Amino acid sequence: MSVRILGGVAKGRALKVPQSARPSTARLRKSLFDLLYSRTPDGATFIDLHGGSGAIGLEAASRGYQVTLIEKDSRAIKDIEQSARDLELRVRVLRGDTNVLIGQLPPHDIIFADPPYAQDVPKLARQILGSPLMGEDSLLIVQHPSQTRFDEMEGFAAERRTYGSNVLTLYTRQPAGELP
């Protein structure tokens, strides 16, 4: 399977994706990065908590973000690293379990989570929002199936964007004066 980078220095170049991967659709990736373009500064830090195929993280690197990907599967890590070399993109890949690493990493400007479907996505979102990874001005983006519902997260504003059967839920901290 092949996926193309949609923007930035590697625009139009193919990324090899293993058959077992489920990369985000081109429509969703384009919408995600169009949304980020107006909200984030150049050179912002971007972490993909579930590297998988690498499509999101490598797209971010192509567009100038400082990218870290987390992945626990050693074959997926090799594929991501090879794709980054082929595309001449700089990314940092951490091997490990996202649930453990999020408590050990510094804040990032953009945090992207597209966990395996079997994972408790609302629980993961709560864990990230309460971790040091979520800085004062961070943006958490969680990709999930449309039937997944989240409780309100106190102190955070949520925005939901639907793309077919997938949803991006975006979280930002509410300013202190806007808390209920």
Alpha carbon separation from 102 to 85, 119, 134 (Å, rounded): 26, 15, 9
| pTM tops 0.85 | yes
User: What CATH number is given to the structural domain containing 125?
Assistant: 3.40.50.150
More confident residue, 90 or 38: 90
Average pLDDT, the chain: 91
Distance CA 69, CA 94 (A): 6
Q: Which domain holds residue 115?
A: 2-178
The alpha helices in the chain, defined as continuous H runs, are: 26-37, 55-62, 74-87, 98-101, 121-129
pLDDT tens by residue, 78-133: 999 999 999 999 999 999 999 999 999 999 999 999 988 767 899 999 999 999 99
Model confidence over 157-177: pLDDT tens digits? 999 999 988 999 999 998 766
Split into its structural domains, the chain has a count of: 1
Structure tokens at 154: 């106190």
